[in-house]
Structure 1
């Protein structure tokens, strides 16, 4: 790419992090509300790049003992980026993300900023020159899938996929083009599909049936992870989630991809189905396989009766398969929390809050929402600290989920949860005479409890992140907060007419054609058609 001066006339300059982008084309996609997404990606890649650099340094130190002194000096004189990481941003749009990686992530050797839109690539080139990072970023005007397929022999250390909507069509190439131990960063914004509004569409796109539930955001994460795992497994590869986040209107996962046929077999125990009662919404999971030692066995099931044993009157919906393994690597997240203090990020306070809640999360799959649990039995909702205390006093663990501020994530079985609900209902009675005989509420409340429940305040009921007043669950900062409109930039603007231009005068031309046809029909009518009938003659006479 030629190093020429950039014409900034009539340009709008947008600053984010250490990067600046020039916006000339209105239709090139830029979404300012995803700054948190980009800040988090910068922080994760920062930590990943340092780890990879340390690994390479350790290898070089071992080799250096066998090379001569002159060769050592030559090795030390090489630029730092010589042994850095290679990053692919497959769907780059303005190039902002790639530019931020180049300026804010250390030990970077090369970044490919790709986009299928010609106008977007022109914007990327201008922004690269404006930010003076042409030595690190190479613009690419290709189909993202082809770029990844063509890189299977010379793989990238990190592949970033941030599409508008579903990332499924890119995953097959992504899991093949990332190096062994490399990092895959994937975003999905089609939350309506993942959250259970269209389970049949979810199966088509992700190979899993989604369920409507208050824990839909975590279920969305687990559906996406199982989908990535499924793609990786076809090529003898497996994933290790580092961080899985559901915020705002999208989900974002960071996974390491490794090669290993034997460990791929663990996928059956990491994946499973979910049974959700239609009445009380109690959830039960069942893995697709069980690993005992080095042996793999099939599970027996189903794990639920035909009729829910908690509410006595309803059957179950079946969803999945979903990822049942861990969502986060807690050591990685802790390192991330420790490292962001040294970074100057626009959403740093929110990052600290969300990541601290992630650190507190239990590894148990899914969660319940307190308000929904109590609404099922038509009872007043207790304070969160009281419900958490009851679980802790009963000998179980409990945490929030970063995806829901009134979530109950616990290792307690469903029996204990409903025992707590019944104990609270005795203190704050529901109007049972208004409940239908076949309702889930009456079925639960009339069941005998199995454990004594105490609502005495437990010292661990109030989590540290709440005591520290961290920004854990951010409210929407502006009106119409969302993913924005899809980019309308055409793939080939020289040969493809825009939809607006193609539809110009469409209705007018249609009316003209109709008027012309009517005129022709009138001209074709013979004079005999106007001869009065016998009845008309009589009427005229009368």
Structure 2
């Protein structure tokens, strides 16, 4: 009798039987001790139930969940997004602790207690919470949440496709979870969200992980999430969000125009945050970004939603138009409004740029509006980072990548967008200084600088464009370029025709190299596997029932440069 593959102390019996349809079934019975009697009090507890037809399903294990996945691809699954699911589990765990602390603190305040919950060693009560996965497909995400996140009251795993719902039920049973705990539901995601807008029916956590854009579900989601609840959103239509190939499609989905630039992946995050912010504001609610990540071929954001009519008024001050030079790619942001006097909001006077660029005399493209307030809550990210450090590869199989990304995000400056060092050097046709050398020149001038998690070789700084170009002018004086190879009236020719206003100091600054680089963390993940990307849509009836394919949704975005 063979030992169980994952539990050496267990024995298993494998019984094969032929059904009427002449398909083979397997029944794995796992018994703790072979001597256990087949009695009512000691009946066999089956860890693996009937596995349906070997020629139809593969068993996929991820985290603590094992799911049946159809070989005919009737239900969508993308293994590359395991990092998405891992970091989502960590984010929900940290949010749930904060949520429970706030609830307990509020309850104590009602009782007149002066006890600060954060100073308490342990909360006296743990609050449970509900989760909606609006587009569950195979149910893998919901099952992982159920098995890996504590204090969940119940999860609704919703999908429009009947094949997906049937598979969710099979996977719930296969993982020995109660159907009252993980509730498979067939329904339109928008309808489910709108049906749960009233206060008693709201979900504490809503997860939107669609194929393509999440835009159709955002209006319902910002209404159906509980006060202070967590909204998790994925968008994979980066061909729309990161470039100007489909500006009309991006505007239709998100109410914003994208502009081409090296910062395009961070711009995508800020466009989505703008959409969430404006959608929530209609219902006197505001968003609080906790963590916003550009990952592989998609973006993933975590925001809290709270009702706050006063704070909603600040949205125009947190939202800006974007001006990008068509020649040298210098960029500028301009808020839509500002506060004067006693909470008086007035429109900004603009534009903040001339008709032509002051550096190269080219015209500007106008993009936006985009969210230009904070995209991360550093205290939340710090708690996540500490949690991940206490975990290991068994808890999160993408542990090293999570550690690297969260570390880079902790180092990020709270400044909109960024430059790319190679692109700046390419504009001037010069050799590029090392990242450490260039960052040292910025720091020595008295400005701040950091990398961005969204791109290798990125430079996020509060230094104005005039300082950036002056540093390059100083660099080129030390490393001359061949001017005869530079065209007349080109951006490089016009920028280099101006003498620098100061001599840059390229002495290596002690803070020029971030800690995450010194300890060799996985900061920028290379393509995880061959044929990496969004994968094809599910086939068959599911494909027919889904919303018409977004333009560019299946196209991989411009590949990020890897250092």
How far apart, CA to CA, are the structure 2 residues paired with 1:60 and 1:129? 37
* CA-to-aligned-CA distance 1:16-67 (integer Å, 9 cap, x gap): 011110123532111000000000000000111122223334455567899x
Shift of 1:479: 1.5
Q: Which moved further from structure 2: 341-350 or 282-291? A: 341-350
How far apart, CA to CA, are the structure 1 residues paired with 2:141 and 2:181? 13
How far apart, CA to CA, are the structure 2 residues paired with 1:61 and 1:273? 44
How far apart, CA to CA, are the structure 2 residues paired with 1:249 and 1:136? 32
Q: Of the candidates 219, 223, 227, which is equivalent to residue 172 of structure 1?
A: 219
1:95 aligns with 2:121: no
Contact in 2 for aligned 1:93/1:120 (Cα 8 Å):
yes
How far apart, CA to CA, are the structure 1 residues paired with 2:439 and 2:172? 51
Contact in 2 for aligned 1:354/1:402 (Cα 8 Å):
yes
How far apart, CA to CA, are the structure 2 residues paired with 1:4 and 1:140? 23
Shift of 1:120: 0.3
How far apart, CA to CA, are the structure 2 residues paired with 1:17 and 1:489? 29
1:145 aligns with 2:190: yes
Contact in 2 for aligned 1:89/1:160 (Cα 8 Å):
yes
What aligned pairs does 1:31-430 form with structure 2 within 5 A after superposition? 31-59=78-106, 83-134=127-178, 135-153=180-198, 154-196=201-243, 197-292=245-340, 294-311=343-360, 313-343=361-391, 344-430=395-481
Q: Aligned with 1:42: secondary structure?
A: helix
How far apart, CA to CA, are the structure 2 residues paired with 1:328 and 1:63? 31
Shift of 1:486: 1.1
Q: Aligned with 2:324: secondary structure?
A: strand
Match of 1:523 in 2: none
Shift of 1:278: 0.7
Shift of 1:337: 0.2
Match of 1:441 in 2: 492
Q: Aligned with 2:136: secondary structure?
A: coil
Q: Which moved further from structure 2: 22-31 or 389-398? A: 22-31
Q: Aligned with 1:301: secondary structure?
A: coil
Contact in 2 for aligned 1:272/1:285 (Cα 8 Å):
yes
Shift of 1:476: 0.6
Q: Of the candidates 526, 534, 539, which is equivalent to residue 475 of structure 1?
A: 526
1:23 aligns with 2:69: yes
Q: Aligned with 1:251: secondary structure?
A: strand
Shift of 1:6: 3.9
Shift of 1:195: 0.9
Structure with the greater alpha carbon radius of gyration: 1
Taking structure 1 as the reference length, what is the TM-score of the superposition? 0.85
How far apart, CA to CA, are the structure 2 residues paired with 1:318 and 1:91? 35
How far apart, CA to CA, are the structure 1 residues paired with 2:540 and 2:147? 27
Shift of 1:429: 1.1
Aligned pair count reads: 480
Match of 1:527 in 2: none
CA RMSD of aligned residues (A): 2.2
Q: Which moved further from structure 2: 333-342 or 399-408? A: 333-342
Q: Aligned with 2:541: secondary structure?
A: coil
Q: Aligned with 2:358: secondary structure?
A: coil
Give the direction of change, closer, same or farther, for the CA distance of 1:46–1:77 in structure 2 (3 Å limit): closer
Shift of 1:491: 4.4
Shift of 1:8: 3.7
How far apart, CA to CA, are the structure 1 residues paired with 2:102 and 2:317? 31
Match of 1:14 in 2: 60
* CA-to-aligned-CA distance 1:132-154 (integer Å, 9 cap, x gap): 22242111000000000000111
In structure 1, stretches of 5+ residues that fail to align are 67-75, 497-542
Contact in 2 for aligned 1:240/1:256 (Cα 8 Å):
yes
In structure 2, stretches of 5+ residues that fail to align are 1-46, 114-122, 547-563
Contact in 2 for aligned 1:12/1:22 (Cα 8 Å):
yes
Shift of 1:428: 1.1
